[in-house]
Structure 1
Amino acid sequence: MKPFRSVLIAFGLLAATLASANDATEAPGTILSEEAIGGAPDGATAYRILYGSRSEDGADLAVSGLVIVPAGDIPVGGRPVVAWAHPTTGVVPACAPSRSPLRYMMIPGLRDMLKRGFVVTATDYPGTGPGDVQPFLDGPAEARAVLDSVRAAARIEGSGAGHRFALWGHSQGGQAVLFAGALKAGYAPELELAGVAAAAPATDLAALFRDDMGTKGGNNLTALALWSWARTEAAPFEPIVRAEAVPAIEAVAARCIDVLLPSPSKRAADKVLANGFLTVPDVAVVEPWRSIIARNSPGLLPAHVPLFLAQGGADVIVRPSVTQAYMKRQCGAGGRVKLLVHPQTGHGWIGSKSAETVVSWIEDRFAALPTPDDCIFPMR
């Protein structure tokens, strides 16, 4: 899953700050630290934050990210919030998007959202930033971090962030916002969800791994997943990986996926993986990976939550048929879905290509306008 290319720099928080943050027993969304940073567009104010979230078993987590506040007066009732969820950048702390010098460019539609008066949050997900490893493609973990970023925005003095929010994500981030939309009622009932927008979301993970295996992107995706799950799911990958490929998996996991100039070690690792590195034909049918993949494939949103899906017709990572199948299931459950297809667009660019339309759709949801529904008249 390839996001916008950028040069990511190492994530450097003081050890004392991280220790105190990870020992915190605060409510999810509590601000553990914040730092005003420059460079935000159109006079906006940006903060790099560390905030509280929760693990599956209820343990406290420290998660990093951004909150970007538009210029201008705070409207009565507060500003609406858009929670952005990013595509894959990597699984180690150095790959946190909030530390990238191009952090603002990595949020499609940011300038447009700020002009419309939206507060924008952008989580790094658990483990990318503080921590040791990201629980990769862990839908519930991503979802809690996304929802808690909305809570955190309201705790920044002067942000004016209200309880009404929308979700917007691409690829892995599409998976994150679909899970967040499904979990919101139980995890963050005080928040008011206006709608969910997802560009080429990772929905059917079994199909994703199966369709992409053997491609460079698919090999990297599988390597990242196996390396992460060995550490977060107690699922060692050695039983299904050729011994000579283990160093290549380690090399892939150690690098951020969107660095501009891949290192010689990363290029060498890609060559090893290209030769076939699994001892099983389909990881999605072998336990414990089958169960991990199944429980992290998002289910359907509540029928009353509007959904916008964007898809590139030339996407070979998340194939159009997979997104269309998810739409069909959501429609069949009574949902309202808007589908936008860019026929010539591939996976990496569908977020930016669809951003203008997505932001307008989100504004209409905040305004409680009638929701367009392609379940009745599907777009081609």
Structure 2
Amino acid sequence: MKRVLVLLAACSILLTGCLWDAERRVDEDEADQITDASFYDVPASEAAGKPGEVVKSEPILSAPFGSSAWRIIYRTTDLAGSTVLASAVVAVPDAPAPAGGRAVISWGHPTTGAARSCAPSLLFDPFLMMTGLHEFLAAGYAMVATDYPGMAVEGDSSYLVGVTEGNAMLDAVIAAQQLADGLSDRVLLWGHSQGGQAALFAAQQAASGYAPSLDVLGVAVAAPAADLTELMDDDIKSMPGVTISAYAFPSYSAAYSNRYSSDEIDAVLTADGKAALDKLTSLCLLTQGDELHSIAKPLIGNFVSSNPSETEPWKTMLEENSAGASTLGVPVFVAQGLADDTVDPSATEDYVKHLCDTGEHVEFRTFDGITHLLAAEVSMPHLLPWFKGVLAGKPQTTTC
């Protein structure tokens, strides 16, 4: 009986502590929101400088209990090789760093939109989209989550522009090292959906010599937008196909302006698609989903006049922003829900086969009944020991 009372008392203390921390974070989120808008207003001239340099930072008062966190604006590099600004959230455990420093997990978030206002760091809870944050902090990792260029900070959208997104994930780690003591050069990449594409490109960029100060040891992705050609084929006559392709129009028009005119890129649109494009691209998937879907639904089957994956210049742009053109050379973890109707499981299976055929070391996990939204979350029990093994240099199991 005494033991039961002790356990009940402990649970009561734990619950009280959790409720107190939740109340604290809500109060401090409200305080953070007061300064959010002005924080992100940075002159475009600030982009001049070295990739990875911090331009601006501020503490986030609502950091998870036992951690410190910051919003940052930093420099990175786009597809054309120009230095641009991006924003990110950094979270680091308060406990002393282990010998050799903390490994850093760089997170690539799934699609939230393409407009500046759709950035995850602008959400009331800026940690909401950082899948695994609490588990990673408890395990001693630091975590950094880029918004990608063109979100939060004014600039051209980088939606599904693989090189730009990947560079932003790497440079965010270099920026985080300037804020928090004890962060090592050891990096693990982790991304979901659009963020899976970003993480894979970050690994490719690192392997080709970008951000040489970092030691990228492994990359993990859930339901990744790996092969954009196959993704477009699968989704073009569905709701995800309309929204995904709509978001890509402004980003590809900006990224490829030196090769293709806006008229060439927009030529694939129907008259109805062209009329709705500006409204679609201004809406955020998380906070304006109902309005977005009300516009996109009537356009299913009538947004584009031909399949972009078979029509130039889209055919070339989709191919160039599909992962797999160069080797990674580090262990790869891939997770896929088998009830996913956004990234078809067969597309991920095809990408895993490509990785195996090119000699990569892959662990592939599939989950029955799991939709696109949950693919990253259900991966966590498998991903934590996988990351631990990668850091320890232990041989990993392989699907290949």
TM-score by length of 2: 0.85
Q: CA deviation at 1:104?
A: 1.4
Alpha-carbon contact 1:178-1:301 (below 8 Å) kept: no
| Equivalent residue, structure 1, for 2:178 | 155
Deviation at 1:16, TM superposition (A): 6.4
Runs of 4+ in structure 1 off by over 6 angstroms are none
Contact kept? 1:18, 1:130, Cα under 8 Å: no
**Letter matched to residue 80 of structure 2:** D
State which of 3, 12, 15 in structure 1 corresponds to 2:37: 12
Aligned to 1:166: 188
Q: Describe how 1:126-165 pairs up with structure 2 within 5 A.
A: 126-156=149-179, 158-165=180-187
Provide the rounded CA distance (Å) in 1 between the counterparts of 2:161 and 2:185.
Answer: 25
* Structure with the greater alpha carbon radius of gyration: 2
State yes or no: 1:249 paired with 2:249: no
Task: Using the TM superposition, name which of 285-294 and 356-365 deviates more.
Answer: 356-365
Check conservation: 1:303, 1:334, Cα contact below 8 A: no
Q: Does 1:113 align with 2:136?
A: yes
- Give matches, 1:219-238, under 5 Å: 219-234=242-257, 235-236=262-263, 237-238=265-266
Inter-partner Cα distance in structure 1 for 2:229 and 2:275: 25
Q: What is the Cα deviation at residue 103 of structure 1?
A: 2.4
Whole-Å separation in 2 of the counterparts to 1:283 and 1:20: 35
In structure 1, the partner of 2:199 is: 177
Secondary structure, counterpart of 2:103 in structure 1: strand
Aligned counterparts of 1:229 and 1:309: Cα–Cα separation in 2: 27
**Residue identity opposite 2:282 in structure 1:** A
Aligned to 1:347: 372
Q: Residues 295-346 of structure 1: CA distance to partner in whole angstroms, max 9, x if unpaired?
A: 0001166464000000000111111111111111111222211111111001
Q: Which amino acid aligns with 2:366?
A: V
Taking the TM superposition and a 5 Å limit, the aligned residue runs for 1:316-335 are 316-335=341-360
Inter-partner Cα distance in structure 2 for 1:143 and 1:244: 33
Higher helix fraction: Structure 1 or Structure 2? 2
- Tell me the equivalent position of 2:22: none
Instruction: State the percentage of identical aligned residues.
Output: 35
Aligned match of 1:33 in 24, 34, 56?
56
The answer (yes or no) to whether the contact 1:195–1:306 under 8 Å persists in 2 is yes
Q: Which residue among 257, 267, 271 is the counterpart of 2:297?
A: 271
Task: Provide closer, same or farther for how the CA distance between residues 241 and 16 of structure 1 changes in structure 2, counting only shifts above 3 A.
Answer: closer
Looking at structure 1, the residues matched to 61 and 39 of structure 2 have their Cα atoms a distance apart, in angstroms, of 20
For the 8 Å contact 1:153–1:159, the answer to whether it is kept is no
Deviations 1:121-168 (A, max 9, x none): 000111112124312200000010000011111111x43111001000
Contact 1:92–1:133 (CA under 8 A) maintained in structure 2: no
Between the aligned partners of 2:293 and 2:106, the Cα distance in structure 1 is 34
Are residues 1:285 and 2:317 paired? no
2:227 to 201, 204, 216: 204
* TM score, norm. by length of structure 1: 0.90
Q: 2:267 aligns with which of 204, 221, 239?
A: 239
Query: Following TM superposition, by how much is the alpha carbon of 1:248 offset from its aligned partner in structure 2, in angstroms?
Result: 1.8
Q: Structure 1 residues 138 and 303 mapped into 2: Cα distance closer, same or farther (>3 Å)?
A: closer
User: Which structure 2 residue ranges, 5 or more long, are not aligned?
Assistant: 1-32
1:56 aligned residue (75, 79, 82): 79
